[in-house]
A and B are shown apart, each in its own frame.
Chain A
């Protein structure tokens, strides 16, 4: 790969590699990038996964949806095994699987509709005549209707009483799902694959727009002269604050998130951020201070002391779990807990793509540990031998510490997240 040599390994190099290399090489490349943590922001991982799956599906020359599902599942399993804590990878795989299933079912339903027109007219006939001398006809009819009960049950609660059949959940109202949701109706003859590719295109578009969509809610939540506390250099949070800064004057207190993110945070505050993983978009952005916003940078240890003055805490996240809890940069839990003690509202901004249907059975397994030399460098060799240094990168924040989630489809209470999960992922894909 001479072309990608110029780039440092990351999202950019992967996307370039995807264009030039065969699909299997690309899969391997992404797996090794994930394993080596050379691609690590949630959005970069999600984007890479979506692009990879798009290539996988376009390389898969079949119209059989079952085969497509199988292929995506096998690729998805390998990606998830490469980095199980990067939950967005699984989320994107699940959404693509959901897309394929939707398309396949739309087709089947369209066929049903056609056959229904044929058979529907028949029951009418005996009824209209109401002739008791038609028992034969009735019997054959009841047989047919029995056949057609292979239709999905209305809810899972009815599954107890219904005919034996594969499970199926009711399609959600299209209005409540994000753009990637359902596609409009189409004729059954259409190519499933083309529809799925279009759907993945929408997911990729969503990933690109997600921060701006979230930022659109900023003015509802940030008011004049408020004091906002935030943490880490999350682009979602920065865009959110910048949007509000165009109209309002407020103060931002920025905890520096030492030792894993403090450099990026400092750069964000001073406006010298140039993150190659974010495709250079951020470099064009003016920092908050240039909008006349007072930004106060504090060490993480000062969070509790300053919390009594804060009006609102706005946090970015790594991923959000189905129970309303979240996995975010280390130090987030301390902030959320301090906010709880001071009864300060905690708002979490996150794209829907970070919302994982996984239930956190074991919180400890979600926490990733990073490079301990950031805490205690190897130059202090004597000490390294004597103490055990740990550097957790993430924190698990339980749902009761969060007051509001703002996603690209609106604001939600933590207890409502299960609903968004069920809108975006199919039940059969949750554990594949």
Chain B
């Protein structure tokens, strides 16, 4: 995402750079989600460092996590992964008996270090699990409206279109909302996010209509339900997702169509946003400018500067919005179909 030359340079001088590792992991595997990349980065960090005591390790983790969060423009997704990792470590250590205080710290360390691949595999498997849970939502003759480039949604739709495993293929149609903002980013010629899924679905014989974001309200009357992905699921059951999801949610509510969210449970993040502007990130979406400001902007800055040292601001194409829980009918996760209020309970279970 924001992998830059400066990061790479740091990686050479420093023994281990978690930010570079994280970005590398994300770019190396298109199927990797942010939380899993963060967990992987932390596992690699533990492999590199020779910490042998519990507090040393926890301290190292805490520092690196903080550093990672500071250096990534949108740390919401990854913080779900780092929190999960940290909590897993702490709760496993606290549980009496096995790996706990009476046990050996080495054992849990080796478990975590040796199973890095396993975590990635499980994370990908969880998408299949979601797909099998969510299959029931997609019925013959239904039309589904979706947006963004969520891999979980893509997996779900493709699974429904497949006729393997005794199920016959569902005959459904898809209205795919293609974002216009994703085009004018750093790669102006790149096709909008989601085109890959559109092609995959079409090749499976699913009729897909692609519409711009401005046509959502117009098209929603033809859809039976809305299924979207999420970058993070927050404590109150709302979701942080690609810019434009919130308005689809509002429209779906207004028109009375069910709005389902597909998300892996490792995306649950301990955050309680009260509104759109309460997210712990800075986005350049609403920017008031007068003639003077524009003239000033043109002079010294070029586009490349967005990735400079003050680049914690999120580029427009990666901007997100918050969809409140009242707009969400249900969350399809790998632990079943949950109502938004069930999310906080899952989170409380790992924190307390």
Contacts and interface: CB of A to CB of B under 8 A. Distances in A.
Contacts, number: 102
Contact of A155 (B102, B103, B118, B350): B350
A427 B336 contact: yes
Interface stretch (A15-23, A24-32, A146-154): A146-154
Nearest to A154: B91
Nearest to A150: B98
B111 interface: yes
A157 B84 contact: yes
Interface stretch (B12-20, B119-127, B188-196): B119-127
B39 interface: yes
A344 B178 CA distance: 42
Contacts of A116: 97
Contacts of B329: 323
Contact of B112 (A120, A127, A161, A430): A161
Main secondary structure of the interface of B (DSSP, over half): helix
Interface in B60-107: 84-85, 87-88, 91, 95, 97-99, 102-104, 106-107
Interface string A383-417: 00000000000000000000000000000000110
Given A142-B107, A155-B350, A416-B341, A160 B119 contact: yes
A123 B88 contact: no
A418 B339 contact: yes
B97 to A, nearest CB: 6
Nearest to A170: B349
Interface in B110-139: 110-112, 118-119, 122-123, 126, 136-137, 139
Interface string B320-344: 0000000001100011111111100
A123 B103 contact: yes
B337 A155 contact: no
B84 A161 contact: yes
A161 B85 contact: yes
Given A418-B341, A430-B336, A156 B136 contact: no
**Secondary structure at chain A's binding surface: helix, strand, loop or mixed?**
helix
Given A145-B103, A359-B330, A157 B137 contact: no
B102 A123 contact: yes
A149 B350 contact: no
Contact of B346 (A155, A164, A362): A155
A160 B266 contact: yes
Given A123-B103, A155-B346, A157-B346, A148 B97 contact: yes
Given A160-B266, A323-B330, A151 B119 contact: no
A189 interface: no
Contacts of B139: 361-362
A156 B91 contact: no
Nearest to B87: A158
B22 interface: no
B339 A323 contact: yes
Nearest to A123: B102
Nearest to A324: B339
A149 B118 contact: no
A156 B335 contact: yes
Given A163-B111, A164-B118, A145 B104 contact: yes
Contacts of A138: 104, 106
B268 interface: yes
Given A146-B107, A154-B349, A157-B84, 4 more contacts: A138-B106, A149-B111, A160-B265, A418-B339
11 contacts: A138-B106, A141-B103, A142-B104, A149-B111, A151-B97, A157-B349, A158-B87, A160-B39, A161-B39, A161-B85, A161-B88
Interface of A: 116, 120, 123-124, 127, 138, 141-142, 145-146, 148-149, 151, 154-164, 170, 322-324, 359, 361-362, 415-416, 418-419, 427, 430
Q: Which 7 A-B pairs have the closest CB atoms?
A: A361-B136, A142-B107, A156-B335, A155-B349, A415-B341, A359-B337, A142-B104
